[in-house]
Every structure is written in structure tokens, then in C-alpha cells.
Amino acid sequence: MALDKPYQDIPGTIIFDAEQSRKGYWLNQFCMSLMKAENRTRFKADQRAYLNEWPMSEDQRQAVIDMDLNRAMQLGGNIYFLAKIGATHGLSFQQMAGSMTGMSETEYRAMMVSGGRSAEGNRKIGEDGDAQAHRQPQGHAGKKD
Amino acid sequence: MAKITASVFTSHVPAIGAAMDLGKTQEDYWKPLFAGYEYSKQWMKDNKPDVIILVFNDHATAFSLDMIPTFAIGTAAEYTPADEGFGPRPVPKVQGHPDLAAHIAHSVIQQDFDLTIVNKMDVDHGLTVPLSLMCGEKGPVKDSWPCPVIPFAVNVVQYPVPSGQRCFNLGKAIRKAVESYDEDLNVHIWGTGGMSHQLQGARAGLINREWDNAWLDKMIADPAACAATPHIDYVREAGSEGIELVMWLIARGAMSDVPYDATDLIAARAHSVSVKHRFYHVPASNTAVGHLILENN
């Protein structure tokens, strides 16, 4: 019998469960290596060479180089692990989280200061909130000229 | 006999630590947040504990994907602030309380909670930010934290995390363990993390002020009902990282007004808790900050 995963109907959200964890094992372990200053230096000097030392998929390596955190999460990354890459590049958690919405840093920060994103319309896939797939990317990037 | 006299609840956002470490607490963005902890810092001085049991989660720092303990108790003499990718926070080392920690581990395991025992662990912002908020800025060399700390780590990184009910029951077991320790110690238990926040995906930045405050009301007044909140409610209403709130239920379950079991109902009814301080603020970085101090009467 299949496991109950009620969290799969939430828009714009990937829950890091055992299945994701298995997919992302090496991607996340690579991230852990960035907790050492000498590894951060080596990674920044030649990202591609450093990533090639890890048995990750090519898609995972590319997502790291592109700093495409949504893609990295789809491929099994977990945000607390991926945050080590952000820290290596000098990015705050807010900059990282914001980058996943398509909003600019200024737009995302303004949303947070005005009280954050509402849960209205964002509880289940199929509603009409700003986190739903049909409303991406958010902010100026999503405006049609 | 050792006794839990109070519980403290607070978010543990890393940016709060950074703001303190970089001297930004009086900037417009941060000022209202730190104002909410002024009472708490004085309260800590006036009610200095002998030991703090600090419930927190490790954020892929001490525990990688190699080992993922659901509940882990620190029994070491000392814990070093971790390098989370931007260098260690410039705060004092954390002194442990190996005797009480080992006693709690022994008692709680015999109450059917399978704790992982950790003798070596660096501690991340989940543990050091609450200490900084409650104790103020402390330098890494000259200063020290006011008392020993027993780190108690809960897995909230890889799903499924323990249920609120499980955490609440664990709190009861910890209280029983503390009360069977012979030395007279004034013990605080802190629950950290939360409140609503989501750090990932198109839904990043989710905040739910109404839900947070309703949950807080319930946790204070009817903690057993609050403990029954299912996982999916946290994720849907308070964001994927809002699930950290289950850790608050460990601290709440350790308070004297919570009956240990059906035979303890009358004894527990003789106790009540006082809300000494309550604070809520949006935002700190991506997060709704909640803070509460409860004392046993």
C-alpha cells in the first residue's frame, strides 16, 4: 500500500522526504563540504572542477552552477543544505528564498516587510494564489510588457 | 530535587544572530524585533536558571544525511559554535551539563523514547540564536553564557518529523526525568524554531499571522488539543518550515499543569502556568517571530 503523502497538493512546495533525500544524497553532501573554509575557497576558484569530484548527476551540478535553487530542490536538494552554497557566495537566506519566487530582491524584501505572503489561495494546488504555477514568475519578471 | 520552573519559546532565525553579531540591532528594520526581547533579557537575569534544556533543530550542521536522529540529547561537557558556511558566530562556547543530561537520557529512554546520545556536536544558529536573544550580546572569549545548556536536537529537516503529540509526550517524560534528579537545580526548558515561514519554492515568504496566534493561544490554554494538530496543518497553514513548531510542544509538555497520564490528572490540576511575556513580530528575514515565557506557579 502506498504511503500517505498529503503534502503533495501544496503549490510551490517540495517536502524533503525520504524519497527526495535519496535522490539528493550526494548533492546535499557536497553542500555539507562547504562548511570548511578551504573547501569554499576551492569551490569558488573552480566550481566545475570541485563539483566533478562528487558523484552527482550532471543536472544537479548544473543547478548548482546556475544557482537555480528550485531545480536543485526538484533534484533532491534540501534548503538547509543548499543554504551552504548561498553562504559561500555571500547570500542571505532571504536572498536565496526570494530567488525561488522570480521576484527581485527588493520586491521580495518589500513583500516580507509588508507582512509576508498570504496563505489565501496558496493552500492547495488549483486555487488562485500568487504561489500557484499559473502565476509564475512573480513580481516584475512576470508582468507582460 | 531538580525542578523545571519555566519554559521559554522563541524563533531562532539565523539573520537575528547576524544582526546581533554585526551590531545592527538598532537599525529600523531590527529595532522592533529586539525591543520584544528587552523584558526577556531582564527576566533571564532575575530568574537565572542552573541549567537550560534547549530544544532546537540542527540545520544540516552536526547531522548531514549520513545520520538523521529523530531525537538527540547532548551529553558532552562542551559544544563549539559551528561554521555554517560563513564562519562560526562570534559567541561563547556552550558548556554542557553531562551529569543531568546522562540522567535524562537514562530516564527518558526507560520511558520508551529512543533518544540518540551525542557526545560530540557543534551547535548551529538553532541553539545559539535563542541564547543570544535571551542573554544579549556575548563575546567568544571573555564572556560566557549564564549557565550550562543541554542541547536537545529534533529532526525537522527530513520528513516525517515527529508528531506534535509525540513531542508533547516527550516533554512529559523529560519533566519526570528532571524531577528524579537528586541535586537541587532550577531548570528551564526552551522550545525554539517557527513560527510561520517557508524558505523554498514559489510559496517562499508565506506568513500566517492569524494561524500563528491562534496556535499560540491554544498552546498556552489547551496544550493537549494543540498537540493534536496534524503535520499537514503546519505545512499548509504555516509554511514548509513552520513545522518547527512541534518543538515548542516538548517544552510545553514539560510544564507542571500537564498531567503525566490518567493517574496524574488531579495533581496536575493543582498547577497552573503564568504567561510572563508574549511577543509576535513579522518579519525577521523570511520568518514570523514568536516568543513566549511561561512560569510554573
Per the confidence metrics, is the pTM higher than 0.90? yes
Interface test with A, best of B195, B198, B211 (most A CBs within 10 A): B198
Nearest by Cα to A10 from B212, B233, B155, B197:
B233
pLDDT tens column, B211-265: 999 999 999 999 999 999 999 999 999 999 999 999 999 999 999 999 999 898 8
How many Å apart are CA B183 and CA B179, to the nearest integer? 10
B201 and A18 in contact by Cβ < 8 A?
Answer: no
Query: At the topology level of CATH, where does A15-90 sit?
Result: Protocatechuate 4,5-dioxygenase; Chain A (1.10.700)
pLDDT tens column, A21-79: 999 999 999 999 999 999 999 999 999 999 999 999 999 999 999 999 999 999 999 99
DSSP string, B135-201: H----SSS---SS-EEEEEE--SSBSPPPHHHHHHHHHHHHHHHHT--S--EEEEEEE--SS---SS
The ipTM assigned to this model is 0.95
CA distances from A19 to A8, A130, B296 (A): 13, 27, 43
pLDDT tens column, B115-166: 999 999 999 999 999 999 999 999 999 999 999 999 999 999 999 999 999 9
Determine contact, residues A51/A30, Cβ cutoff 8 Å.
yes
Spell out which residues of chain A touch residue B200, defining contact as CB-CB under 8 Å: 13-14, 69, 73, 79, 97, 100
Nearest by Cα to A57 from A77, A80, A83, A36:
A77
How many Å apart are CA A63 and CA B24, to the nearest integer? 33
Grade residue B86 by pLDDT with cuts at 50, 70 and 90: confident
Give me the phi and psi of B237, to 5 degrees please: -95, -30
Mean pLDDT of B51-76: 97
Nearest by Cα to B70 from B17, B108, B13:
B108
Query: At the topology level of CATH, where does B3-296 sit?
Result: Protocatechuate 4,5-dioxygenase; Chain B (3.40.830)
Interface test with B, best of A117, A123, A132, A138 (most B CBs within 10 A): A117
Residue ranges per structural domain of chain A? 15-90
List the single residue in B with minimal CA-CA distance to A85.
Answer: B85
